[in-house]
Amino acid sequence: MKKWIALCAAFLLCFTCVKTGAPVVQAKEKVTLKVYNWGEYISDGSDDSLDVIKEFEKRFPDIKVSYTTYATNEELYAKLRSGSANYDVIIPSDYMISRMIEEDMLEKLDFNNIPNFEAISEEFKNPAYDPTNEYSIPYTWGTVGIIYNTTMVEEEVDSWDILWDPEYTNQILMFNNSRDAFGIAEKLLGYSQNTTDIEELNAVAEKLKEQKIVLQAYVMDEIFDKMSSGEAAIAPYYAGDFLIMQEDNPDLAFAVPKEGTNLFIDAMVIPKGCEHKEEAERFINFLLEPDIGLANIEFIGYSTPLDTVKEQLGEDVLNDGISYPSEEVIANSESFVNLPTDVNRYIDELWVDIRASGSSSVWELVFLIVVIIGLGGALIVYLRRRNR
**CB 96 → other proteins: shortest distance, Å?**
12
Q: Could you give the CA distance from residue 364 to residue 178 in angstroms, rounded to a whole number?
A: 27
Q: Residues 245, 179, 70, CA angle at the centre, nearest 5°?
A: 55
Element (H, E) at 73: helix 73-81
CA distances from 294 to 107, 276, 361 (A): 27, 26, 52
Phi-psi region of 375 (alpha: psi -120 to 50; beta: other; left: phi over 0): alpha
Q: Is 195 or 249 the residue whose CB approaches other proteins more closely?
A: 249
Q: Could you give the CA distance from residue 212 to residue 281 in angstroms, rounded to a whole number?
A: 44
Please select the residue that binds other proteins; options are 50, 189, 203, 217, rule is CB under 8 A.
217
Q: Is 373 in the site for other proteins (CB under 8 A)?
A: no
Q: Is 107 in the site for other proteins (CB under 8 A)?
A: no
Binding mask 17-56 for other proteins (x = CB under 8 A): -x-------------x-x-x--xx-----x----------
Q: Is 158 or 275 the residue whose CB approaches other proteins more closely?
A: 275
Q: Cβ neighbours of residue 247 under 8 Å, at least 6 residues apart?
A: none
Q: Cβ neighbours of residue 160 under 8 Å, at least 6 residues apart?
A: 146, 184, 185, 187, 188, 236, 257, 259
**CB 312 → other proteins: shortest distance, Å?**
25
CB-based contact 219:226 (threshold 8 Å): yes
> Residues 332 to 371: which contact other proteins by CB under 8 A?
345, 348-349, 351-353, 355-359, 361, 364-365, 367-368, 371
Q: Binding residues for other proteins, how many (CB under 8 A)? A: 73
Please select the residue that binds other proteins; options are 37, 116, 176, 193, rule is CB under 8 A.
176
> Residues 258 to 317: which contact other proteins by CB under 8 A?
none
Residue 264 phi, psi dihedral angles, 5° rounding: -120, 155
**CB 172 → other proteins: shortest distance, Å?**
11
Q: Is 61 or 190 the residue whose CB approaches other proteins more closely?
A: 61
**CB 326 → other proteins: shortest distance, Å?**
29
> Residues 50 to 89: which contact other proteins by CB under 8 A?
66-69, 71-72, 74-75, 77-79, 81-87
Q: Is 221 in the site for other proteins (CB under 8 A)?
A: yes
> Residues 132 to 171: which contact other proteins by CB under 8 A?
170
Q: Residues 306, 219, 94, CA angle at the centre, nearest 5°?
A: 35
